[in-house]
Structure formats: C-alpha cells, structure tokens
Amino acid sequence: MMLRDGAEYFGTHFYWDADDNEYICCATWQFEKNYPDMPDYWHLKAVEVEQYNGQHSVLCIDVEEGDPIWRSVETDGCPVADLVERDYS
C-alpha cells in the first residue's frame, strides 16, 4: 500500500480492561511522511469503541485522549494489519 502524506487511515485495535472485558475499536490515524533519513510519523486522531464483549454498539462510543483505551491504542501504534485509507468523498 502506498501511503499518502497527510492522508487519514483507519484500522482495528483490541483492548482488554482489568475485568477481562474485550473492546474492539476503530482508530483513525494520520500519516506524516518524513525526510528519507528520518522515520515517518503516525498521529492518532480518533478512537471509537465499536464492540464491547462481542456486542455491537448501536452508537459508536468516542474515546477521549488520555483514556486507558486511547493510551493502549496509541501504544499499539500504526500501521495495523487491516489499515484502510479514509475516503471523505
């Protein structure tokens, strides 16, 4: 996949809390191309919980920066296996 500078991508991340509840999240990342001798950057823009313990949420729940789920996704980093470019057209 050819990554475009400034483009946003989304992919699936998983999180388990202390009670072993499973959260399936969709994270939006922005790609920033760096100089050839420097690493590229990924900026986490948004995290939404789509499933909780296998149950689809009627409304996706936005996760705020600093929340344990956000920190876990940020630590996982990007790219993830199912990375897809976000299309705003």
In the structure encoding, which two tokens stand for residue 7, read together? 């483009």
Other Cβ atoms less than 10 A from the Cβ of 81: the count is 6
- Residue-wise pLDDT for 22-75, tens only, equals 999 999 999 999 988 888 999 999 999 999 998 876 667 899 999 999 999 999
Structural domain including 66 reads: 8-85
- Name the band, by pLDDT with cuts 50, 70 and 90, for residue 2: confident
Answer yes or no: is 71 within a domain.
yes
Answer yes or no: is 1 within a domain.
no
Q: pTM here?
A: 0.85
Residues 6+ apart with CB under 8 A from 82: 11, 12
Number of domains in the chain: 1
